[in-house]
Amino acid sequence: MAFLLLKPLRKRLGSDRDYYRMLDDIFGLYPNNIELYKLALIHRSASLSVNGRVINNERLEFLGDAILEGVVSHYLFIEFPGGDEGFLTKMRARIVSRATLDALAVSMGLDKYIRSRFPGGCANKHVHGDAMEAMIGAIYLDKGYDYANRLLINRIFRRHLDIAQLTSTDTDYKSRLIEWCQKSRRTIEFDSGFSNGSTSRKPLFKSKIFIDGEEVGYGFGETKKQAEQWASYSVSRALSDEIGDFLLQSIDMQRNDKAHL
């Protein structure tokens, strides 16, 4: 009884009242452990130091990513009973992509509560999507998997996710990757052919991607085109953030090392 009386007081008068209100407004939940959710909103750029430990949302983000993959897989399995493995895999990749998670966080209003030190906003750093995953990790730890599953499907996916649009959007990763290389003034080559274990009845292709002569990724598929798309997807996932810059620097360093041999 006392707990029920304290709930509205914490929401209205406590030092963490803004967090309680946010969780109620956005997720429709009352937390058991408010500290988990506060931690989920601390990006690594705004990390805290407590007794020599660095505190941010990266561990919760790691956990939330795994929970999200499981929930999305279950959701798509039920939502598309006729979808084959390739279709379900592609749809899952679109839903859990950084672009989709960034958009979800902004649509829900979560971006207003994130603690980050990026000047002038943080949309290009995937801070929003990272916080979204961290919040899912916090919900899982605080409420359990079944609760997180129901909340994601019934409150978040059905309200904020346009499944029809995601289904109709056919992303051409190869074209996007070629365009990115052209803008970055980099050469790109695809080395595609039959993979080991391929047979006439069940062909399997492998495609390797070379940027400025250095291998940066590969993919498999039942056709050459499919293999090149999956290879492009594996590389494209890294090119929209700081990892892309690191990739280019690594390529340049390898080229310089070879030039001095």
Q: Which residues are catalytic?
A: 65, 133
Q: Which of 136, 162, 164 is nearest to 150 (CA)?
A: 136
What stretch of H or E contains 182? helix 173-183
CA distance 76 to 68: 12
Give yes or no for a contact between 206 and 193, defined as CB atoms under 8 angstroms apart. Answer: yes
The residue type found at 50 is: V
Determine the Cα–Cα distance for residues 38 and 114; give it in Å rounded to an integer.
9
Query: Please, which contacts does 29-36 make with residues 24 or more away whose CB atoms are closer than 8 Å?
Result: 29/139, 29/143, 29/151, 31/142, 32/142, 32/143, 33/141, 33/142, 36/60, 36/138, 36/141, 36/142
Residues 6+ positions from 29 with CB-CB distance below 8 Å: 23, 139, 143, 151
